[in-house]
Structure 1
Amino acid sequence: MGEALADIAPEIDHVFQGEAESAFLAFLEDRAADEPINRVLPGLVNESLDDIPAPDYSDFFLQWTALVDEATTANGIKRSEIRLPYESSRGCWWGAKHHCTFCGLNANGMNHRTKSADKVEREIVAMSQAYDVNRILMVDNIMPHSYVSTLLPNLAAAEQKLEIFYEQKANLGRRRMLLLRDAGVTSIQPGIEALSTPLLKRMNKGTSLRVNLDCLRHARASGVSLAWNLLSDFPGDDQQNYEDMIEIIPLLHHLEPPGGLGGLSIDRFSPYHMTPEKYGISRIRPLPAYAEVFPNSTDPRLAYHFEGDYNSALRLSLDLKTRMETVIQDWLDAWQEGPPILFVFDLDDNRHLLVDTQRDSQMSQASSALRTLIYC
């Protein structure tokens, strides 16, 4: 992609492809020594992320103070709502074993490289104190496994409390979710993607409907907010995959809804793009928007997002897609005025109060057997 951009844009002096921290330093040294430099420079993979310096956002906040007052930005966003991006790892430990079929991240390789827990804690706390911002946005593809026994307990015990966002695999048990919450990880993006075991198998996600429902339930019970989506239009899907979701979604209004329903994008470096014939995909081509962005070029090397021809039940049925969108919108609407409640309170050993506000607000006394509803 970098070479293609250089080919169509002579105005660009140099293009770095891949990880550029080390390559950029070498570039500066060569330039200072007046050495010849290639126009397109390959990145150098950093095996030791501890050697990478901490992010420096001082210029951003200098501009901030010059443009706005201490409380708000020009568009009304409070300073306290700013999230400081931070990267604690590169690659994906799950993708290194099982590449999700739609994932085009990690062009430099799936090998999962991590910063030491001490470095991460030290740097995010220092950033928070330096810029008076308490919210940290981890930009990793997935949180490192090792942090469960290192970084998270350290943050939970730390005097300064942060609000952290992290991407996660969806197979989080109750204890893991509570540990995340106690460490200040108040928001996560779990790779849920579907509420259908057959669809999840097609994606090579390594999860199931039960695992994903557990994730939604544990997050709600623990007070951890979720950012997730439902994906659709997968090669080889069938109508029953979506009919099953249409049936189950109305029963889940007490759990946090997805952002919406998103159609599949065939991304460069994903299995769908690299081996399309394996999935019955043909005529792969860049999305039409690239012709608008690059009107003088049809070079497919410029594109990251593609489309193709393949069989998909949802793509063939407008009625099925409309019904999927409707049940998801109903779920979102149920949360417009606040999260619905489904909870059981103990009154005594044999009596329990079931509170259910998913539809009309109602309360009833329930038998012991109904206590299991909280685990549904």
Structure 2
Amino acid sequence: MTHVLRERAERQFAAELAALADSDRLPRPPQWQLSPQAVVTYLIGGTLPNGVEITPKYIGNRRLMEIAVATLATDRALLLLGVPGTAKSWVSEHLAAAISGDSSLLVQGTAGTSEEALRYGWNYALLLAKGPSPEALVPSPMLNAMRNGRLARIEELTRIPADVQDTLITLLSEKTLPVPELGIDFQAVKGFNVIATANNRDKGVNDLSSALKRRFNTVILPVPDSLDEEMRIVRSRVDSLGKVLELPDLPPADEQIRRVVTIFRELRNGVTEDRKTQLKSPSGTLSTAEAISVMSNGWALASHFGDGTVTAGDIAAGLLGAVLKDPVQDRAPWQEYLETVVKERDGWKDLYRACRALD
């Protein structure tokens, strides 16, 4: 597995999870690999009594992670809600890795997701040959999680059609999945629960019914509070991606990270950081995840086509791609921002020229 492009969290951070388990003396809910306190430590980071450093997976409000973990220790499912790029999927994966030791029980929500993805399907060759039988049943990730007392994950729940979403109502309230064709049902083993994510700013989504909403405890993951906090997130993730992609080591690029994060925050909020200039916001979300992408792309450019130092020219192309999601609608706000903010800001002339050269 050393050549896998992206290891699952439970494998990538196996040493940290093992160290936490060894030092964890607190009570654990049934089937949990760690106590709730240790799960939060895994997410937020810290130093164990034996000196082992646990890297932070989520940089933000610790209380939000405590609420999320506490929810999963009850019979309520967890809904992580927020704008794009607020680490919903990332937190979901790491919660499953720390609690169940398995983050692979995943249903990806799309407009084409069917009931079979949430319940079960059939091996049609066996079905035609022998009729309905346990051997012909194809379990969904949800059913596997129920049978093994694990966490199931649903990505982009609101992209799933409303009638398919409601398949979850009985499953979450009764913790039972009937199979009428066989005259049996599967009852969830202790340790089973569901983590769903949803985007509250996406278009073309299907709102959850009130009945389904009641089955979830909702935790809203906010955008980073401050420039420094967002920079810390971007720096951490870019460093991690650089190691996975085996990019050459580069000098610290804090100044370029600060520029990218500042631009994203100002355009996202519609005002400069000093609150002196109002700005028009483009149509895109300009999320922290996109800032990570811009810096990773800049690192690759500097490594393979530059002198090894990330420059304004290396981040300019990524900036344009992130900001100009709609080439017509977003061009005016971007041009105005370049002329009124970037051009006039001390020490940013190189970035202004690099962006203008690509425009």
Normalising by the residue count of structure 1, what TM-score does the alignment of the two structures yield?
0.29
Normalising by the residue count of structure 2, what TM-score does the alignment of the two structures yield?
0.30
Q: Which has the higher helix share?
A: 2
